[in-house]
Amino acid sequence: MRLNEEMLSPADAGRWSRDRACHLLRRTGFGCTAAEIARVHADGLNKSVTRIVAVADEPTDFVAESESLRQTALASGNIADSKMWWLHRMLRSNNPLAEKLTLLWHNHFATSFAKVQSVEAMLAQNATFRQYAAGDFGKLLAAMSRDVAMLLWLDGNGNKKRQPNENFARELFELFALGVGNYTEADIQQAARAFTGWHVRNKQFWFDSAQHDDGSKTVFGNRGRFDGSDIIAMCLKHPACSAFIATKLLRCFATDQPTAPAIAAVASRLRVNDMHIGKTLATLFASEYFYSDGVRSSLIKSPVDLVVGTLRTLDVHGDKGNAAGPNLVPTFMLLAELGQDLFEPPTVKGWEGGRQWVSSASHLVRIRFASQITAGEPFGRSRFTKDLAENIRSESGQTCLQAVSQQLFGRRLPEQLERKLERVWNDSSTNPREKVAELVYLMLSLPEYQMA
Amino acid sequence: MTRAMRTMAGVLALWVSLADTQNRAAATDDSLSGALPSGASMYVEANNLGDVVTRFEKSELFKLLTSTPQWRTYLESSDYQRLDAGRKFVEAQLGEDAIEAAKKLLGRNLAVGLYPKRDSKQPDVAFVLRSNHPAFLSKARDQVDNLSRLFGKTVLDSTGKAAGVWMWTVQGNLYFASKNDWVAIATSKPLAEQCVRLLQKESADSLTANADFALAMKEAAPTAHIRVFADLRKLMEATGKKPQQTKFDNVVGAWLFGGVVELARLAPVGSATLTFGKSGLDTTVHLPVDWSKPSAGMVGFFTKPGEAGAAEFPALPTTIAGFSFQRDFVHLYKSREVNLQARILPEFDKFETGIANLMPGRSFSEDILPLLGRRLSILVGPQKFDHLGGEPALKLPGFAFVFEPGTSEQANDLFQLLFQSVVSILNFQVGERGGEPMVIRAEVHNGVPISYGRHMKSAAKGPLPFAFNFTPSSARVNEKLILSSSLDFCRQLTDSYRTAKDVTANHVTADNAAFVAKADAIADGLAANRSFLESKIVQSGKSAGQAKIDFDLLSTMLRKLDQLRAVGTVRVAGYDLRISLSWK
């Protein structure tokens, strides 16, 4: 226990830097602008972490636009409209951590519109993810067991007293709460009986008592007339649960390959915090471990991280730069092409992530994205590159190079790479716009940029 | 007028080659076709557009456009700044207002001709203009001569002045000639010289004297503001392709446009005109070709003499749009191997197999298709949702197909069977997606029986699902059979057709197809879905405020318009397609 606590010991306030501020923002949101970095740097670590984990008010315009986009998705019944609604939130919300956690839970409780076929149910599930995003995991797990989209996805209406359907019980143990190796087939069969009669009726959760098996069941060695809520409670008390969720949190916010001590430390904090996600993450974000070399630049950017992060970082706006944000239509289509089609994860296991994000084919699409971003079509034009190009006469090549690397990477690049880029800068077009565009394109194409 | 508006007007003036509003002359007397040599593959002349531009400058639409936030944004753009700089440069050179100069230079009429070259795909081009301001032209000639001396012969070489005609060349690529009130420009010296001879009345071998030109332009209104001639054979030769019958890759395209495409292939020449009126514009395309002898596959496309042409549109004041056409569907269906690409033909076999499951022992082309008649109208109109106890958030208009099977009872039975089958099939699909199934109901509306499919359950509160836009309905009234997506629209149509005089037997017109779209009704439809459409603009990256501004502009512009109408007509002289846009 002591070792675990030491793993998450608070970061040294004296080492707080612009680089660390940038790292915190990138991991807890999608990209970041120079103004955001400056604010977090000025506020210091603890104040910034508290603010990031808390729920901030949203601007009136954002709320109106978001509601308009949500109503459109409901009215059209078209999942593409839902994707654009969510992307708008990721790009413009004052609560990027909530959106990142919503995405984490969407992947954790992977449910696809391809089978659910109801925008209303998918949006309701998404709202539940957001409601409990940084809250009590137990409440989120309980909500998911009664969620309409989840019940449609895992054939809840087929789970009947005389013919139990094991889909939900199996995924509850394997994918939602415990992980493989922490339960038996018999546990699944018995737990499935506890969820019989948990059905959907008139687009709402409905407990069909006539189809519920209220007989005695044995789960994890416990015997009783358990129902679904009892099984959820047993999962939450299971020692594997905190470690399983800790691994998920670390893989999302820290590293693809979390070490056993790191998992144990975060699991310990989860237990101490009664499985409260926000409190646990606050400890993680304020720890020295979070800023260690093993954690920084050790995550491969997911398509959402890459695309939304780049659009935010470069301040991209549609309609020749006069619009409020980037064009959402090509954005959601690009995500699908890159393998992260929102609301449509490929299987119950969700997106595998990590190295699976980058293949030879998807890498070419990532490079094409870099080219499109600098060309200004189809997503929109970057205010960052425009401003830089306009000020280029008063800036030296070295200064521009540093400005771009600071914006894209949050730090200076290795000296050797910086020298190469400087040579390209010196040899490139004399047109300031083209010069900056070429530099940004090269930097977006670097393997280093594919790492978060 | 502000400087920006003047610049805009100047650009428009240059763009459409406006003529002097004070000097309108009859196009026939003033046509420049006599100033261009025969042999052109294409010819375009513009006459007397000045009044159009003047009306546009004074119109509400112009005021509206130049008062929008989008216009103000444009004035701040680099594109506009460049344009304005160009205007200032021209004014400095000419020493007078650019717009006035444009009016003087292009103020009467102008024409362009393309002339194919044997050894090149790029045609030679000849351009001729006639101005009402010879003094201005004289001044311009002097300035060009000065430029010629300034830049030297490599850039602008004066080739001499004979019989009062000034001639220059730009690096041997462009040849200019001018005298009195005219200017001729050509990409080759012989062509320029031919133009000069015609303008000097020293030759008679002009386009006007060409028989093909005369044939095509015979039907082109002489008072049109823009008149176009195309020698389709020469244009086809220029592309290096042999004229072959087009094989379509979809049935809709073949049945809607196949005949016209076929006529365009067979016609040696064609013409087009564009005329601006006080409250509308008309454009007509004319193909002087024997429409009764297209390839065998497309015979069924055209209305035969004495046959009922495309149906009248129902007299509904709120109709949004309509498309009506007359075809021999049986002939076109049987000719599918001639008209369509081979790769889509297997789909017909699947379709016929499906039909055979529904009606075993019948041939689709022999027993079923003839029952549909030869006239089909596709109509779009507003629908109310009173009968649903609520409204969908996204409100679609009603759509309807109107067939004219005559008095056949067999057709009636066929439609009922088709209707019931479609509803049953839809119910299976809806069930798989967790939607609400439909039940077939019937009512008698003003004496006309209507069958319709109604969703079993109405939502108790909140907007209805999108699917509730569809209450498939069918009715038989007089000689028409209506299949509609909306019960309300079906009711409107039955009321209209019940009293209409347009029955097949007495509707003998030469109209092969007709289309109408009404701007007010479209604007009403957009207004009913305002929040949805604004949200679509937000999806493109704009803010909610910007979306409101964009929507308001679109809506206001639509309300300034009246309707768009297009009619395809078969006449002895050939085939005409007339498109009219009217405004308030």
Interface contact B532-A65, CB threshold 8 A: no
pLDDT at B150 over 90: no
B-chain residues within 8 Å CB-CB of A118? Answer: 434
A-chain residues within 8 Å CB-CB of B534? Answer: 68
End-to-end CA distance of chain B: 23
pLDDT-based confidence at A4, cuts 50/70/90?
low
Closest chain B residue to A311, measured at CA = B541
Q: Which of B433, B536, B544 sits opposite A61 (nearest CB)?
A: B544
pLDDT-based confidence at B108, cuts 50/70/90?
confident
pLDDT at A345 over 80: yes
Average pLDDT over chain A reads 93
A405-419, B192-206, B502-516: least confidently modelled range: B502-516
Interface contact A75-B393, CB threshold 8 A: yes
What pLDDT is stored for residue A340 in this prediction? Answer: 97
pLDDT at B502 over 60: no
Q: pLDDT tens across B330-362, in order?
A: 999 999 999 999 999 999 999 999 888 888 888
Closest chain B residue to A72, measured at CA = B532
pLDDT-based confidence at A316, cuts 50/70/90?
very high
Interface contact B539-A69, CB threshold 8 A: yes
pLDDT at A183 over 90: yes
Q: Which of residues 59-118 of B touch A (CB under 8 A)?
A: 73
What pLDDT is stored for residue A128 in this prediction? Answer: 98
B-chain residues within 8 Å CB-CB of A74? Answer: 393, 463
pLDDT-based confidence at B508, cuts 50/70/90?
low
Of chain B, the percentage scoring pLDDT greater than 90 comes to 37
Interface contact A77-B467, CB threshold 8 A: yes
- Give burial (CB, 10 Å; 0-12/13-18/19+) of A414: exposed
pLDDT at A189 over 60: yes
What pLDDT is stored for residue B361 in this prediction? Answer: 83
Interface contact A81-B546, CB threshold 8 A: no
What pLDDT is stored for residue A3 in this prediction? Answer: 52
B462 inside 8 A of chain A by CB: no
Both tokens assigned to B14: 């240059």
pTM of the model: 0.83
Name the amino acid, one letter, at A57.
D
Specify the higher pLDDT residue, B294 or B461: B294
Rounded average pLDDT over B6-35: 51
Interface contact A152-B467, CB threshold 8 A: no
Give the Å distances, CA to CA, from A65 to A99, A335, B315, B539.
16, 22, 41, 9
Closest chain B residue to A87, measured at CA = B539
pLDDT-based confidence at B378, cuts 50/70/90?
very high
What pLDDT is stored for residue B138 in this prediction? Answer: 87
pLDDT-based confidence at A178, cuts 50/70/90?
very high
Rounded average pLDDT over A286-306: 93
B-chain residues within 8 Å CB-CB of A88? Answer: 538-539
pLDDT at B1 over 70: no
Of chain B, the percentage scoring pLDDT greater than 70 comes to 89
Q: How far apart are CA A305 and CA A363, in angstroms?
A: 14
Q: How far apart are CA A336 and CA A373, in angstroms?
A: 17
Q: Which of B433, B463, B542 sits opposite A324 (nearest CB)?
A: B542
Looking at the complex, report in whole angstroms how far the Cα of residue A329 sits from the nearest Cα belonging to chain B.
7
- Hey, is A352 helix, strand or coil? coil
Give the Å distances, CA to CA, from B225 to A61, A125, B231.
49, 62, 20
Both tokens assigned to A256: 């693809």
pLDDT-based confidence at B420, cuts 50/70/90?
confident
What pLDDT is stored for residue B11 in this prediction? Answer: 47
Interface contact B541-A318, CB threshold 8 A: yes
Count other Cβ atoms within 10 Å, centred on residue A430. Answer: 6
Rounded average pLDDT over B147-166: 67
A106-120, B4-18, B212-226: least confidently modelled range: B4-18
What pLDDT is stored for residue A258 in this prediction? Answer: 94
What pLDDT is stored for residue A397 in this prediction? Answer: 76
Beta-strand runs (E) in B81-225: 109-117, 120-130, 156-162, 165-170, 174-179, 182-186
pLDDT at A440 over 80: yes
Q: Which of A68, A77, A380 sits opposite B535 (nearest CB)?
A: A68
Q: pLDDT tens across B444-468, in order?
A: 999 999 999 988 865 446 678 888 8
Q: pLDDT tens across B422-449, in order?
A: 888 888 888 777 778 899 999 999 999 9
Q: How far apart are CA A24 and CA B554, in angstroms?
A: 45
A-chain residues within 8 Å CB-CB of B535? Answer: 68-69, 71-72, 81
Q: pLDDT tens across B237-292, in order?
A: 887 777 677 889 988 899 888 888 888 888 889 999 999 888 899 999 999 988 77
The string of DSSP codes covering A13-53 is GGG--HHHHHHHHHHHSS---HHHHHHHHHH-HHHHHHHHH
Q: How far apart are CA B266 and CA B112, in angstroms?
A: 25
Residue with tokens 């315009």: A61
Residue with tokens 């779209």: B517
B-chain residues within 8 Å CB-CB of A432? Answer: none
Q: Which of B432, B531, B541 sits opposite A319 (nearest CB)?
A: B541
Specify the higher pLDDT residue, B29 or A367: A367
Residues B566, B571, B575, B578: what is their CA dihedral angle, to the nearest 10 degrees?
-20
Rounded average pLDDT over B227-235: 93
Rounded average pLDDT over B124-145: 87
Residues of A with CB under 8 A from a CB of B: 61, 64-65, 68-69, 71-72, 74-77, 81, 84, 88, 117-118, 152, 317-319, 322-329, 380
How is residue A410 annotated by DSSP? Answer: S
Interface contact A324-B541, CB threshold 8 A: yes
Closest chain A residue to B545, measured at CA = A61
Of chain A, the percentage scoring pLDDT greater than 90 comes to 77
B538 inside 8 A of chain A by CB: yes
Specify the higher pLDDT residue, A22 or B406: A22
Closest chain A residue to B432, measured at CA = A117
pLDDT-based confidence at B28, cuts 50/70/90?
very low
B433 inside 8 A of chain A by CB: yes
| CB B327, CB B299: distance < 8 Å | no
| CB A120, CB A74: distance < 8 Å | yes
Interface contact A68-B543, CB threshold 8 A: no
Residues linked to residue B147 through DSSP beta bridges, in sequence order: none
| CB B383, CB B489: distance < 8 Å | yes
| CB A123, CB A109: distance < 8 Å | no
Of chain A, the percentage scoring pLDDT greater than 70 comes to 97
**Strand-strand pairing, B438-445 and B120-130:** unpaired
What pLDDT is stored for residue B160 in this prediction? Answer: 60
Phi, psi at A246, each rounded to 5°: -60, -40
Average pLDDT over chain B reads 84
Both tokens assigned to A85: 């609604």
Residues B277, B278, B279, B280: what is their CA dihedral angle, to the nearest 10 degrees?
20
B431 inside 8 A of chain A by CB: no
Q: Which of A69, A118, A322 sits opposite B538 (nearest CB)?
A: A69
B-chain residues within 8 Å CB-CB of A68? Answer: 531, 534-535, 538, 544
A-chain residues within 8 Å CB-CB of B391? Answer: none
The size of the A-B interface in CB pairs under 8 A is: 77
Rounded average pLDDT over B32-39: 94
pLDDT at A303 over 90: yes
Rounded average pLDDT over B309-317: 82
B536 inside 8 A of chain A by CB: yes
Q: What's the half-sphere exposure (Cβ side, CA atoms, 13 Å) at B396? A: 18
pLDDT-based confidence at A371, cuts 50/70/90?
very high
Q: Which of B393, B466, B541 sits opposite A328 (nearest CB)?
A: B541
